[in-house]
Amino acid sequence: MRNDSVLSEFIKGVALKYASKVETDPKTSNQHELNGVTPLKAMLGTAKRMFPRVRFISFDENDSVTAAEGSATWYDARGNHPARTEYRLYYSENEAMSSVRAGDLIVVALLENDDLMIASAPSGSVAESELALLFAPADSAIEERFTVRTAESMSNVHLSFVTRSILDLLEIDAFEKFEGFYLEDMINRFGGVFPGTRAFSEYAANTLAEIPEDPDEALPLLMEREEVLFRLYEKTEAERRLANGFDSVEEFVEYAKSLMNRRYSRAGHAFENHLARLFSREGLHFSRGPTTELHKRPDFVFPSIEAYRTLPDGDVGKFVTVLGAKTSCKDRWRQILNEAERVETKHLATIQPALSNNQLDEMRDAGVVLVVPEEVRLTYQAERRNPVLNLAEFIDALKNRQRALDGKVIR
């Protein structure tokens, strides 16, 4: 069932640049036009093109998204003077582009259906790092003039769980390219309704012929498999519900909200479930979701909540590890800071790639140690990787602590 899709299956061409002041300052900008667009000819051609459906997506410093729909026109402003071409990309006014500032990253992508997508992200933000990770060519810098990648140059960019997740932020569903295996089995097994999150995670894991021994390979594979199966099953449920119709627009909106809320909630539970599977496979002892001070509930306490509660102050920091688990960080990573006051250093597992240097520094200064699959760690800048643990390193450290505590108890 594993799919070896490449980026060019979803994107025919992509161009990146940093916004200039002349494009963003209302006093000096050419309204609703992007500059430095001549390289776009390699992607859009030389003939005039109308794009009646353009998806605009703007991220802010906290990874919150403003999305809008509009149109765009690609044309030569000096079409009557072949020797003096001046190409322009004009776009309709929209809320997403109105928030772009000088220095922000701008991405223009020609999608597989020939629609355009224009995305932006502030300089230094996580979203900028993610977009650059996915689209930027390795051999050239991003400047105020567009750098273009054609489909040919993206045909060897194989998608992983990490890169599929970034595409998902851009509302490009790279998971649907998987063939529809197991759908009939899921319908028969679950009766057309969604099972509990632990049951679904168990089912997803059992569909894999083999789970790699390396936890850094196993976790992305488990997450990818569950995401694929979930979306496949969710699609059939949504189609059935849509076929039945809605009594009002409000009812439809509420149903759409419930789908998104369930998707986000389930992803978080799936992450915890698959981490727990890997920890158990490695013979680790842990308490999952126990209650600590002020009725806080950390995701994992190693080796147990009993050890956390009963070990002397001088020992609890040596033998007890507290781990939070969040598929994405944003500002929510700070929630783990007061979940277990007896342990000063907190660990946080995530699968969010390309965290910014600023965010990594903030976590380090707050006493948070990140735990990520190795393929995610490699998306962080080299000088920021050392404090970050991959899963194998984290598990080895837990085993050492567990052995040390067992030896202390025996003596």
State the Cα–Cα distance between residues 46 and 38, nearest whole angstrom.
10
Both structure tokens of 126: 């996580």
CA 33, 35, 39 angle in degrees (round to 5)? 120
Contact 125, 60 (CB under 8 A): yes
DSSP 187-210: HHHHTTS---HHHHHHHHHHTSS-
Task: Give the three-state DSSP class for 101.
Answer: coil
- CA separation for the pair 100, 88 (Å, rounded): 18
Alpha carbons 361 and 384: distance in angstroms, whole number = 8
Q: Say how many CA atoms lie within 13 Å of 13 toward its Cβ.
A: 16
What angle (nearest 5°) sits at the alpha carbon of residue 128, between those of residues 122 and 131? 140
Pairing of the two strands 300-302 and 287-288: antiparallel
Q: Which residue has the tokens 């309709």?
A: 92
d(CA 30, CA 90): 9
Rounded to whole angstroms, the Cα distance separating 154 from 170 reads: 17
66, 119 Cβ separation under 8 angstroms: no
Residue closest to 161 by CA, chosen among 218, 208, 114, 99: 218
- Among 371, 409, 407, which Cα is nearest to 390's? 371
Catalytic residue among 18, 91, 182, 308: 308
Q: Note if 233 is an active site residue.
A: no
Q: Check if the beta carbon of residue 57 is closer than 8 Å to that of residue 37.
A: no
Q: Two tokens at 380? A: 């962080």
Q: Which of 182, 198, 142, 174 is nearest to 18 (CA)?
A: 142
Q: How far is CA 300 from the centre of its chain?
A: 22
Contact (CB, 8 A) for 75 and 48: yes
Residue with tokens 């928030």: 99
* Residues belonging to the active site: 308
